[in-house]
Structure 1
Amino acid sequence: MAVRTGSDSERTAVNRCVAACDALVTVSEDCADACLRTDGNGDVTRCFLADLDCIEVCSSTTRVLSWHARWDGPTTVALLETCREAARASMLACESMARLHPAWQTCTMACRRVDDACERLLAMLR
């Protein structure tokens, strides 16, 4: 990803956010796949749908942060806030599944990294 403007600290924050989002997309895809292989109940369905939402929102966040010459516009701020919410929802769903399947902790940790990276970037943009 080539970031074209902003201070070094902003570029670093954008790069961290993109890396966290990309990693969460991969982990969420694995988690959603695991949900499909698990005998379903409400928790499995909630986790699966939260994973799908997270994949879409994180992918969009990565694309917007990657192609914009400036990231301080209202669309970027709204998307970062949405990304945090999607990561939090996925984290809660994965936490409930992790009680049954410890492997879901990987998703929970990736969600926390996205929440933190988005929060740090938002703080710089506000």
Structure 2
Amino acid sequence: MAASTGPDSARTGINRCVAACDALVAVSEDCADACLRIDGNGDVTRCFLADLDCIEVCSSTIRLLSWHVRKDGPTTIALLETCREAARASLAACEYMAELHPGWHTCSMACRRVEEACARLLAVLR
């Protein structure tokens, strides 16, 4: 897919990224709550902390994308990359928890959406 540089494509990418991050914040909060309700070990802690990281990074990404006029600055690029990494870490932790606890409701789909939305927006902004 060729990166488009027009303002409409950037705005569309920003809107998708903000929506994906917002959805992931909601399901990560649910996932973190679920972690607190089970007895666990380091695996539960790892999942809980990955959820908290995702919540904070996604929330920061939403704020940054919402107030910046110039969307291609180095801070925006760095935060989008960080957001992708936080989503990947949360995805790995939640999928591992799903293996340990059958029926575990994961935020895997929302993590994948954030990773994809950030990657697409990065392609437009670079």
TM-score (norm 2): 0.92
Letter in 1 for 2:110: A
Letter in 2 for 1:102: G
- Corresponding residue for 1:23? 23
CA distance in 1 between counterparts of 2:104 and 2:55 reads 18
Unaligned runs of 5+ in 2: 1-5
CA distance in 2 between counterparts of 1:38 and 1:88 reads 23
TM-score (norm 1): 0.92
Structure 1 ranges of 4+ moved more than 6 A: none
- 1:1-126 equivalences under 5 Å are 7-99=7-99, 100-105=101-106, 107-126=107-126
CA distance in 1 between counterparts of 2:66 and 2:104 reads 30
CA distance in 1 between counterparts of 2:19 and 2:53 reads 18
Contact 1:47 1:94 in 2 (8 A): yes
Q: Cα distance, 1:104 vs. partner? A: 2.7
Q: Cα distance, 1:98 vs. partner? A: 1.3
Letter in 2 for 1:84: R
CA distance in 2 between counterparts of 1:67 and 1:112 reads 25
Contact 2:97 2:104 in 1 (8 A): no
Tell me the SS of whatever aligns to 1:104: coil
Deviations 1:104-125 (A, max 9, x none): 33x0110000000000000011
CA distance in 1 between counterparts of 2:10 and 2:103 reads 35
Q: How many aligned residue pairs are there?
A: 120
Contact 1:95 1:104 in 2 (8 A): no
Contact 1:61 1:79 in 2 (8 A): yes
Unaligned runs of 5+ in 1: 1-5
CA distance in 2 between counterparts of 1:101 and 1:17 reads 30
Q: Cα distance, 1:29 vs. partner? A: 0.3
Percent identity, aligned pairs only, is: 78
Deviations 1:87-106 (A, max 9, x none): 0000000000112143433x
Structure 1 vs Structure 2 CA RMSD:
1.0
